[in-house]
Each structure stands twice: as C-alpha cells, then as structure tokens.
C-alpha cells in the first residue's frame, strides 16, 4: 500500500484497520501469510486482522469477509472485539453498495463498542439510501464526539451540508458552511459559505488535503480540493472576477507550500534542459502528445508523468519518461533531480492539483503552462501562458497573470475518427423527435448554464436533452435542481450511462445539435466532434476556454452556430435542430476547409520558437 494512499484515504477506514496498516510501515503482509489457507489452525488473531485488513484496503472485499467471519468465530467471548469486527464488516458492505446490510451490521457494532467512525459510516449508508434525516442524526453524533482536524472531519461536514441542503434547511446549511470554514480554516469552505445558494448541483466540497509522505510535511492543509472548488462558483468565469480571485488564492498557496518545501540550491544553468510535467493519460492531454514527441526529438526533454502513461508515448522507447504519480514530495524531487532550465506544466488546473501546488514555487529559471484549461493560474511563479492566436481576443493579456504567448496552428494532426458509425436506429433515436446532447459530464457544467438548457426544452416541446450521467450523487442533485426549478421540462432530460467511443461518436453524429457548455467549453474533444458535421451551438465567453469552439469554427469560416449573445443561445440551438439541411451545410464547410482544423506543423514551429526563446532567456 502506498504512503500516498495511507496519507489520503486510510482515515476513511475503521480505526482497527488504520492501526493494522500503520503497523506495517508501508509494507504489505508477508506473501507466505497471504498464501496460507484459512483452514490451517496456526493463525493468530493479529495475523487474521493483518490479512483481512490487507484485502479490505485493496478493495478485495469478498476475501476480507472470509477472514472477518473467522475472527467473529474466534472472539465470541469478547464483545469489544466483536464490535471492531462488525464495524469492519459494515464498512465492507458500505463499500460494496450493500447499504441496508451495512446499516444493520453497523447498528449492532455500535451497541458493542462505541466509535465515532460508526456514526460516520451510518451517515454515508443512510445518505445512499435516500434517508437524509437519519443521516443527519448520525453525523450530528459524529461531530459531537470527533476531535481530530483531518479529512474525515472535512468529509463529515460535506455530508452534513449536503443533507441539510437536500431537505431544504437553508439557514442550517449556511450555518454549517460558516462553521466548517472556521473550524477547518479552509479556503474552499469559506468560498462556499460566501456564495451559497440552495440546491446547487454538482458542487463537491473539499475532501482530501495535501499530505506529503515526508513526516516533516504531515500538516493537514486543504490545498488540492480547494483549488478544484474555485472553478465551480457562480461568476468565477466572468473575466473581471477570475483573475483577482485566483491571484488571492495563489498568494496564500505559494507562501504555505514554500514554508513546507523549504529552499534548494539552483544548479548551473545549461540552457538546454526541459522538463514537462503532466498527467499524460488524461483525455485533455491527448491533443498535445504528438507535439510533445516532436519536442523530445529536437531538445533534451524529460516527461514527468503524474498518472498513466498512454500507449502513444510508451511505444516511443527512446523517450525519457519518469512516472511518479500525483504525490507531492516525489514529484518535487523528480523535478529537482532533472534541474530544468525550462519547466512546462501541461493542463495545469483542477484535474492536476499536485502540479498546481508545485507551480506555486520557482523550480526553474523559466516556467510556463500549456494545455486545454485556458484560465490563468494566478501564480506569480509562472512566466508564460501558451495559448493560440485564433482563440484569444484582442485584450486577452488582461485576463492572465502570466505573459500570454499566442501560438499559431492547432495541436491536433488528425481527427482519428472510426471508419464506420452506428446509425440512428442503433442509437435508438426516433425520427420524429429532436435531440440535443451536451457531451460534458454534469460535474463540469457551470451552474449558470443550466437555465439555458431548460430554455431549449421549453422552446422545443419535441426536444430531448442528453447529458452524460452515471447516477452519482452529483447527477442526482442535478436532476433535483431541474425538477424543482424547471419541472415542466425535467421529464425530457436523459442521463446516459457510460458507452464505448464508437457509441459516443455515433450518438454525437446522429443527434440534431451538440451543445457547447458556456464558460467551460468542449475543449480537446472538438477535433473529433467538429468533423462529424453535427452543429455545435456555442457562445464565446470572455475566458479562452469558453471560446475554443467558436475559434475553431471561425478557422473553417463557419459562423452559423455561434450565438452573438447568451440570450441567442437557446433559440439558435432550436432553429438549427429544426433545420433539416443544417448538417449538410456544415459538412460542406468542413470538406472545403479541412486543413484549417489540423495545422499541426504551424503549431510545432510556433512552439519550438517559444522554447528557443525561453532557453535563451534561461541562459541570461
């Protein structure tokens, strides 16, 4: 089990499991012990706990249950031990989605050994069963007895606030938000408290803090999710608000991380070493992989990966690839060990909080960010923001704390579409109905965009709205919001389950209109979606990320689906959906201007020119 998992997730397991795992000191139980048959008589209670805990934390839940049942048999005379075992079994049922069983077992455990964590697990179970009042009773008990200031306490406030919001107790929700902000000294809770509005969908409160594996860096600080939360708020995408808010957060973050990390001596600048840091396996990074490979062919580049390394990079065996995961301290050490003269962060934003945390420090003479989350970082330590000339408005420099670089071309070489698609009959779309599809998950949508979705369905009584959804709590909150605020259209909203790439692209091809979500934008997916010729309705907002669809359409001289104002968005979507010839017109435009969507060579040359300039600057 990794130290990262211990630091970030172990607190959400029963206390006895935490005790067993911490005793391992980062090492798993002996392989011989794990391979021993449960039927042999030479087990000790501690060994049974070790193996059960190992399976439990690695989510091999059926195996763990076998050992917990044997522990129950051997401790029938010890009520306190039975309470610990039953709590562990109840937690297994909770993780397994067996919420009714979890409630029954946890209530039995509470009678044998009182533990605050049992009340927390009961709260989660009742919440999943749709019983907010019972969940609130349990979380109140938990908060009255739990004294640690850690991620479990933060999550407990999350559960309480969600359930209070769900039952409509606005005053109590606001009170608890204020309390959480004060108790946890958390930027994200403070921001939520200032901006709280009832029944806001898809807003998740901070769960996990930065907790480095070095014992000297064990301070509980809620950096990661605080940064993630900033992007969800009403008005945050408005040009005049996003920059000062991020600057304020960045200043606090930079000072706090500097005090933890300390300082290090800079090596002699060579003017040649480049490090690129990012989660290259994320979909947002896919559009830039060919460009990264091209850079590696010309320069001395180290690619430092926070996540899975995609096949496109792995098959280039000559690449200098370093896989460190999202842990803060190993990532810091990996960057330091390569002594970069130019440090580029790919897709710096909420999906890569560890990168953002480290970007608040000066780790190279020249630092820049490149990627699809086109919003300023607010960090004084980032020198350059790499964007595109076709994307940025004339006054875009004022949107960034970094120096804006307007690259030419586009990062994608090809759309890589499948040779064949599923037809309308296979996607189960009816000919007499119209379909609107917003391909971005509910959790990524800005709340101000939702009324425009409802307006589309009001204007088109025969229209249906598709949204990706996995029946998560955030999806359910979204539907609650629609039912309470727009009940007349909520029955024509469909949350789609996960689907293959072929099915997804086929659906995008067959629906009448695709919807580009305001403020957020479809980003990296556009190079696959635009060639499908389904009109993508968009309104270019002030920030660059919300302008990408309009920018690419203007590249191919297609302005028909670009709304002049926000008020034009819904009427334009309905008009295009009802226009039987719209797709043919879009197909003709794309056929006439295919090169303008894929200007990779221009992008590569422009990016290399920036790199040459940055390395020259580093040498000075």
Q: Please state, rounded to an integer, the average pLDDT across all residues of the chain.
A: 82
Quick one: pLDDT at residue 40?
A: 85
Question: What is the total residue count of the chain?
Answer: 620
For tokens 């408290």, the residue is 193
Q: How confident is the model at residue 324 (pLDDT cuts 50, 70, 90)?
A: confident
How many C-beta neighbours within 10 Å does residue 265 have?
5
The average pLDDT across 491-513 equals 88
Q: Is CATH 3.30.450.70 what the domain over 434-597 is classified as, yes or no?
A: no
Between 304 and 521, the more confident residue is: 304
pLDDT tens by residue, 388-447: 999 888 888 888 889 999 999 988 887 777 777 777 666 677 777 899 999 987 767 777
> Is the model more confident about 585 or about 246?
585
pLDDT level of residue 242 (50, 70, 90 thresholds): low
Are β-strands 366-370 and 342-346 bridged in parallel, bridged antiparallel, or unpaired?
parallel
Sequence-ordered alpha helix ranges (H) in 185-223: 187-195
Distance between CA atoms of residues 543 and 243, nearest Å: 10
Domain parsing of the chain, residue ranges: 256-262+270-413+601-619, 434-597
Same fold? 256-262+270-413+601-619, 434-597:
yes
pLDDT of residue 514: 96
Question: What CATH number has the domain spanning 256-262+270-413+601-619?
Answer: 3.40.50.11380
pLDDT in tens, 214-230: 333 333 344 444 444 44
| Three-state secondary structure call for residue 480 | helix
Q: In the predicted model, is pLDDT for residue 6 greater than 90?
A: no
Which residues does 126 contact at the CB level (< 8 Å), separation at least 6? Answer: 99, 103, 132, 134, 135, 138
What values do phi and psi take at 304, rounded to 5? Answer: -105, 110
Cα atoms in the Cβ-side hemisphere of radius 13 Å centred on 204: 18
Across 533-565, b (16+ Cβ under 10 Å) vs e yields bbbbbbbbbbbbbbbbbbbbbbbbebeebbbee
444 compared with 609, residue with greater pLDDT:
609
Poorest-confidence range of 203-207, 442-446, 494-498, 540-544?
A: 203-207
Q: In 3-state terms, what secondary structure has residue 214?
A: coil
Residues 114-167 have pLDDT tens digits of 999 999 999 999 988 888 899 999 999 999 999 887 778 888 888 888 888 777
Six-digit token string for 400: 């960034």
How far is 569 from 515, CA to CA, in rounded Å?
Answer: 9
Residues 38, 45: Cα–Cα separation, whole Å: 12
Least confident of 151-155, 303-307, 312-316, 340-344: 151-155
Query: 20-71: per-residue pLDDT in tens?
Result: 888 886 677 888 888 888 888 889 999 999 999 999 988 889 999 999 999 9
CA dist 222 and 510 (Å) reads 44
Count of CB atoms situated within 10 Å of the CB of 385: 26
Q: Is the pLDDT of residue 386 over 50?
A: yes
How confident is the model over 504-561, as pLDDT tens digits? Answer: 888 999 999 999 998 888 877 888 888 888 999 999 987 777 888 999 999 888 899 9
């Amino acid at each position: 089990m990794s130290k990262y998992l211990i630091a970030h997730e172990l607190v959400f397991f029963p206390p006895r499991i935490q005790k067993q795992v911490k005793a391992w000191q980062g090492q798993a139980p002996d392989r011989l012990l794990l391979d021993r048959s449960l039927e042999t008589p030479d087990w000790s209670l501690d060994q049974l706990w070790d193996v059960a805990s190992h399976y439990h934390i690695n989510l091999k839940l059926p195996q763990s249950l076998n050992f917990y049942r044997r522990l129950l048999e051997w401790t029938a005379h010890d009520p306190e031990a039975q309470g610990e075992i039953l709590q562990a079994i109840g937690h297994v049922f909770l993780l397994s989605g067996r919420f009714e069983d979890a409630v029954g077992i946890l209530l039995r455990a509470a009678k044998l050994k009182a533990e605050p964590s049992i009340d927390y697990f009961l709260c989660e179970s009742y919440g999943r069963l749709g019983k907010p009042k019972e969940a609130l009773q349990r979380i109140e008990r938990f908060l009255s007895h739990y004294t640690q200031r850690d991620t479990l306490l933060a999550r407990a406030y999350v559960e309480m606030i969600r359930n209070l919001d769900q039952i409509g107790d606005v005053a109590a929700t606001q009170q608890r938000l204020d309390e959480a902000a004060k108790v946890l000294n958390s930027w994200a809770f403070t921001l939520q408290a200032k901006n709280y509005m009832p029944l806001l969908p898809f807003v998740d409160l901070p769960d996990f803090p930065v907790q480095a594996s070095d014992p000297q860096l064990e301070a509980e600080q809620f950096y990661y999710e605080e940064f993630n939360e900033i992007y969800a708020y009403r008005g945050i995408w408005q040009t005049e608000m996003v920059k000062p808010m991020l600057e304020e957060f960045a200043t606090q973050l930079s000072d706090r991380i500097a005090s933890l990390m300390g300082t290090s001596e800079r090596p002699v600048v060579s003017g040649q070493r480049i490090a690129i840091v990012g989660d290259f396996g994320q979909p947002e990074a896919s559009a830039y992989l060919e460009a990264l490979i091209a850079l590696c062919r010309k320069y001395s580049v180290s690619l430092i990966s926070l996540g899975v390394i995609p096949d496109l990079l792995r098959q280039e065996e000559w690449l200098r690839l370093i896989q460190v995961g999202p842990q803060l301290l190993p990532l810091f050490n990996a960057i330091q060990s390569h002594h970069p003269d130019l440090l580029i962060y790919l897709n710096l934003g909420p999906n890569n909080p560890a990168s953002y945390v480290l970007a608040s420090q000066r780790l190279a003479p020249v630092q820049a960010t490149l990627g699809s989350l086109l919003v300023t970082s607010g960090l004084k330590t980032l020198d350059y923001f790499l964007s595109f000339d076709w994307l940025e408005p004339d006054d875009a420099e004022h949107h960034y704390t970094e120096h804006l670089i307007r690259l030419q071309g586009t990062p994608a070489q090809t759309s890589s579409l499948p040779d064949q698609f599923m037809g309308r009959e296979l996607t189960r779309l009816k000919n007499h109905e119209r379909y609107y599809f917003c391909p971005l998950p509910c959790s990524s949508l800005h709340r101000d965009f939702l009324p425009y979705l409802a307006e589309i369905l009001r204007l088109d009584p025969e229209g249906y709205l598709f949204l990706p959804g996995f029946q998560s709590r955030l999806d359910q909150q979204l539907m609650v919001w629609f039912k309470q605020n727009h009940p007349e259209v909520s029955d024509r909203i469909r949350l789609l389950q996960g689907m293959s790439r072929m099915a997804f692209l086929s659906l995008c091809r067959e629906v009448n209109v695709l919807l580009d979500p305001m403020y957020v934008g479809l980003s990296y997916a556009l190079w696959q979606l635009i060639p499908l010729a389904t009109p993508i309705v968009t309104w270019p907002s002030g920030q660059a990320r919300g302008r990408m669809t309009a920018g690419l359409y203007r590249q191919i001289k297609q302005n028909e689906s670009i709304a002049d104002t926000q008020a034009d968005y819904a009427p334009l979507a309905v008009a295009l959906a009802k226009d039987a010839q719209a797709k043919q017109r879009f197909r003709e435009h794309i056929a006439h201007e295919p090169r303008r969507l894929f200007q990779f060579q221009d992008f590569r040359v422009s990016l290399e020119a920036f790199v040459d300039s940055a390395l020259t600057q580093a040498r000075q």
